[in-house]
């Protein structure tokens, strides 16, 4: 089945929480995913087989793009880095499996090609490859990626300069013009305008996470406005209500 028959074009909501966050709970992430589903998202991105399974059990029927972040000693790539993580995601019900496709070292030197082939041929799942550069996107498409995503732009040492520049819309444009598979914009998409801009440049879908599901990040956007009101003591605004 073609990936476009599984995932419609539009907004994908990344329902993840950072280690140490009080939101890092399978039930909470499943609730986020169901809310995103109800609000019109076309897909969910979720981290770990446990969270994927919880979302499916909660009644999320839009496609879930599963990842499993695992760090192996001596390896730099950590987004679904081996067949073991991919297999567990498929067993949990992930509809699409996303993997890291950067040039960074991989566990046991397992090649990206072998992982893509395993997910296709053994697990019978489409593959989304998270890349940081045009060259990585071209290579991922050559290896059979069903989707190529700009997820890692700004998050590997050789693209750090992009991290503070908002979403990498230029990379979206260059990928759309170069690869045959659908392109997904991901990474620092914080406003509806960012999403529109990526789709206008030819992106098939856009993943938004932090701006929608990182509650602490969102609250920090409002705190400065509240503290500018004057010398009211902490908690005064809470006492007056919303």
Q: Which two tokens stand for residue 18?
A: 């950072």
User: pTM surpassing 0.75?
Assistant: yes
pLDDT at 230: 59
* Average of per-residue pLDDT across 183-196: 98
Q: Which domains does the chain have, with CATH numbers?
A: 3-240 (3.20.20.70)
Query: Taken in order 84, 140, 121, 48, is the CA torsion positive or negative?
Result: positive
**Three-state secondary structure of 50-65:** HHHHHHHHHCCCCCEE
When pLDDT is cut at 50, 70 and 90, the band that residue 242 belongs to is very low
The mean pLDDT value of the chain amounts to 94
Residue pair 88/117 in contact by the 8 Å Cβ criterion: no
Q: Does residue 58 surpass a pLDDT of 60?
A: yes
pLDDT at 229: 61
Rounded distance between C-alpha atoms, residue 166 and residue 187, angstroms: 8
Rounded distance between C-alpha atoms, residue 24 and residue 22, angstroms: 6
pLDDT at 1: 81
């Amino acid at each position: 089945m073609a990936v476009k028959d599984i995932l419609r074009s539009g907004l994908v909501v990344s329902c993840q929480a950072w280690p140490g966050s009080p939101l890092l709970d399978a039930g909470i992430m499943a609730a986020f995913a169901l809310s995103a589903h109800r609000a019109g998202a076309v897909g969910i991105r979720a981290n770990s087989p446990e969270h994927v399974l919880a979302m499916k059990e909660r009644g999320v029927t839009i496609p879930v793009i599963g990842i499993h972040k695992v760090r192996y000693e001596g390896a730099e790539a950590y987004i679904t880095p081996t067949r073991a993580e991919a297999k567990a995601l498929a067993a949990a019900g992930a509809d699409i499996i996303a993997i890291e496709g950067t040039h960074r070292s991989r566990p046991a030197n397992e090649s990206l090609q072998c992982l893509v082939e395993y997910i296709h041929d053994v697990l019978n799942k489409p593959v989304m490859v998270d890349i940081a550069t045009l060259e990585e996107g071209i290579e991922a498409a050559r290896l059979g990626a069903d989707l190529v995503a700009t997820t890692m732009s700004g998050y590997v040492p050789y693209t750090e300069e992009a991290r503070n520049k908002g979403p990498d819309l230029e990379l979206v444009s260059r990928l759309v013009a170069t690869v045959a598979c659908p392109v997904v914009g991901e990474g620092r998409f914080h406003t509806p305008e960012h999403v529109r801009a990526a789709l206008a440049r030819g992106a098939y879908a856009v993943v938004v996470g932090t701006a929608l599901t990182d509650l602490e990040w969102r609250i920090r956007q409002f705190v400065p406005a509240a503290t500018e009101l004057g010398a009211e003591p902490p908690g005064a605004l809470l006492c007056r209500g919303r």
